[in-house]
Amino acid sequence: MSTPTDPPPSEIPPAVDVDAALGTAGGAPIIAPRTLKLWLMMFLEFFIWGAWLPLIFGYLPSLGFSALQQSIILNAFPVSAILAMFFSNQFADRNFAAERFMAFSHLVGGLAILGCGFVTDFWSFCTLMWIHCLLYVPTISIANSIAFAAMKDATREFGLVRMGGTIGWIAASWPFLFLLGDNVGPEVTYIVAGIASLILAAFSLTLPHTPPNRQAGAELAWVTALKTLAKPAILVLWLVTMVDATVHQWYFNWTGRFLESIGIAQNWVMPVMSIGQIAEILTMLVLGYVLKTLGWKTTLIFGILGHAVRFAVFAFLPYEVPVILVNVLHGVCYAFFFATVYIFVDEFLPKDVRASTQGIFNLMILGVGPLVANSLGPYLHELFTTTDPVTEQATTNYRGLFLIPCVTALCAAMALWLFFWPPQKETQGEG
């Protein structure tokens, strides 16, 4: 969400083995209660995020917030992701039962995001959003911990469970097709997110008990993970991941307002953007074949070039049909780059540093990349926007604006082509 960001690739699901997660009743397969609980947990976890994220970038300017104020609010999530990487996740893991931490975080965080639907001044909205993000972001990893602890065979079951998150993100988009209209504004997205969070807070108390890991070693995992950057291939991929994550976040920064500017009704904006998540599911199904056929480098480059093509269409073909259709490339952008990054780390790094190295890549995908994008995004949008002195109507030069991420993606793809040389594998072709 994906991704945004759609559901984040904090854990790349292994191949889905439905038989492992299904029970039987009279010979007919049914979903085991344990698997269904975990699936619903993931569904609600990403429904919350998917409900408010796509429209916030247009909603904040409508409240009269300056570019600086917008950046402060938008950066609540990536800063929380950075803090979660270094502090909050380890603190929660070692001191609280995971399901109780989930319940508390979604109760307080849910009340905070619910409050965002009722306030319009900067300080109130900003404070509530920061409270929500600081409590919500750690639960992304905590949800994964609960799932892995409860599964009998995570390799075979996690794919089905984690798919609940992607479906939750998609499902969050469609109610607003009916709710958003002339009489209802985007503030309802925060109310829906808050209600979903409160539901998950109560539901978390029914999840399998996952006690705190008090035996965890004192050494900080990220210190060990940073040592893997001494490998040139890992370092290059890590830096390019930051650039790709920035470009990816700019899609969310500007696309909602752009879609409205070309005539797409506000209540259709989120469903149109959810096309990307639907395509993501389909693209993941062919990722293994693509990797085997094209190799690591070519697959990763295609993932980045997907961004360049999408922004090029936005810039030069700003019409409803091509703009809507090109959103299917989101699946290519997500699976061919983000998912492939995680698979690459799992393939080429020793087992004892894989998880921590995945964490420092998450640092770029959920933290540093979005932080850069959210800091520059509002200023760049203002830079390419002019206001008619007579009519006071604001007009944005989206062609010039979208060429920035388009060119940035092309440069990142070029950097991969020139400097990324993964180890050769006998069973893996190289692009």
361-383 pLDDT tens trace: 888 998 999 999 999 999 999 99
| 192-244 pLDDT, tens digit each | 999 999 999 999 999 988 888 665 544 566 677 788 888 899 999 999 999 99
| 8-28 pLDDT, tens digit each | 444 444 444 444 445 544 444
Token pair recorded at residue 177: 């097709």
Contacts of 143 (CB under 8 A, 6+ apart): 41, 42, 45, 102
What backbone phi and psi angles, to 5 degrees, belong to 187?
A: -60, -20
Give the Cβ contact number of residue 91 at 10 Å.
12
Predicted local distance difference test score (pLDDT) of residue 270? 83
pLDDT tier at 88, thresholds 50, 70, 90: low
Q: Which one, of 413, 133, 80, 401, lies nearest residue 253 by Cα?
A: 401
d(CA 13, CA 373): 27
Token pair recorded at residue 230: 């001494």
Q: Which one, of 345, 400, 45, lies nearest residue 203 by Cα?
A: 45
Domains, the chain, with CATH or none: 1-218 (1.20.1250.20), 226-431 (1.20.1250.20)
d(CA 216, CA 136): 23
User: How far is the CA of 272 from the CAs of 30, 259, 328, 420, in angstroms?
Assistant: 33, 9, 10, 34
| 290-329 pLDDT, tens digit each | 888 999 999 999 999 999 999 999 999 999 999 999 999 9
| Mean of all residue pLDDT scores within the chain | 84
| 117-154 pLDDT, tens digit each | 999 999 999 999 999 999 999 898 888 888 878 877 75
d(CA 151, CA 38): 9
| 45-54 pLDDT, tens digit each | 999 999 998 8
Q: With H, G, I as helix, E, B as strand and everything else as coil, classify residue 82.
A: helix
Token pair recorded at residue 176: 């607003």
